[in-house]
Amino acid sequence: MTETATPTTAATPTLSEYTVRTIDVKRTYHMGGEEVHALRGVTLSVSRGEYVSIMGPSGSGKSTLFNMIGGLDKPTEGKVYIDEVDIAQLDAYELAWMRCRKIGYIFQTFNLLPHQTALENVMLPMIFAGMKTDEAQEKAAGILKHVELGHRLFNRPQEMSGGQQQRVAIARAFANDPAIILADEPTGNLDLSTGQHIIDLLRQMNKERGATIISATHDHKMLAVSDRIVWIRDGRLDRIQRRQDLKIAEGTIEGEGGERME
């Protein structure tokens, strides 16, 4: 009983059409001899440049799906394609390459390296990608200026506010011009206005750089800017809403006001 996210065209999509496709993805965990079905078959396609939010209560399989899309977890059954490459086929080196260049990660807890400056944090993925130090330095400084942190290049994370840290993290996620940005509750640890700022920045980067943004979130401000919202329940796709179909009131979404209580 699988719902298809978008009506899949019969022809194989061209490389540029979808960045992420999951086909009947199932994921089963073994916990103390018991089988836990985190995902029971999810088929979903995300177009290039799309801004998608994944919603769902705890234990719905939301995080599992999110990790699948990010190449952080492999499906028990079914296929996950990133840029039309089946991630189950990749070895460690190819996975690392993909994480380095194809995907940019943004975490709820920022996850900046504490002993490195903002500039060094943004440079790190570039260094991993084999870029020369001075080249990386220049590019990292450019991106940091773009997220309005040109004046804090040499500050360490602990010397910055939460919003500034998350902006550094965004700059880091965009370091290697990835096709996909995966954001896990990017505003979860931020206050309202800072969160709004981060959302605006993500949306702006999404438009300017054409990166696909996929985020797991409870933040309704985030939903407001999403192109599509994917609801997960019980390891299955529950429903998919397009932005134009949404009725978004100030801070709440119709019928889903309880979401934030989790």
Partner 1 sequence: MEGPNANDREMSNADPHPAPAGRKAIERQIVLPLSKAVEIAYKSIRLRLTRSLLVTSGIVLALAFLMSIRTTQAITDAMREWAANADRSPAFIDLQNRRLVLEAGQAGLARQLASAAKLGWYVPREVVRFNPRRELGRDWDDLQREFSSLPAPAADLTRLLTVQSKYLPVMREWVETSRQLKAVREELSSPQQLTALMQQNGVPTTEREIADSRLQTRWLLGLALLVAFVGILNAMLMSVTERFREIGTMKCLGALDSFIVKLFLLESLFQGVVGTVIGVAAGLVLSVASAASAYGQFVRRNPPYEQVLVSAGLCLLVGVGLTVAGAVYPAWQAARMEPIEAMRLET
Interface residue list for partner 1 (CB under 8 A): 15-16, 49, 63, 67, 72-73, 82-85, 89-94, 96-103, 105, 107, 109, 111, 113-116, 124-125, 127-130, 142, 172, 176-179, 184, 209-210
Q: Which is nearer to partner 1, 71 or 235 (by Cβ)?
A: 71
Q: Which is nearer to partner 1, 135 or 177 (by Cβ)?
A: 177
SS3 assignment, position 237: strand
The minimum distance between CB 45 and partner 1, in angstroms, equals 16
Q: Which is nearer to partner 1, 118 or 196 (by Cβ)?
A: 118
Taking the C-alpha atoms of residue 162 and residue 195, their distance in angstroms, rounded to an integer, is: 10
| Cβ atoms of residues 201 and 25 within 8 Å | no
| Cβ atoms of residues 174 and 181 within 8 Å | yes
The minimum distance between CB 186 and partner 1, in angstroms, equals 12
| Cβ atoms of residues 212 and 50 within 8 Å | yes
The minimum distance between CB 140 and partner 1, in angstroms, equals 13
Q: Which is nearer to partner 1, 26 or 146 (by Cβ)?
A: 146
Our CA dihedral for 107, 112, 113, 119, rounded to 10 degrees, sits at 140
CA angle (127, 129, 133) in 5-degree steps = 30
The minimum distance between CB 38 and partner 1, in angstroms, equals 12
Place of tokens 């978004």: 248
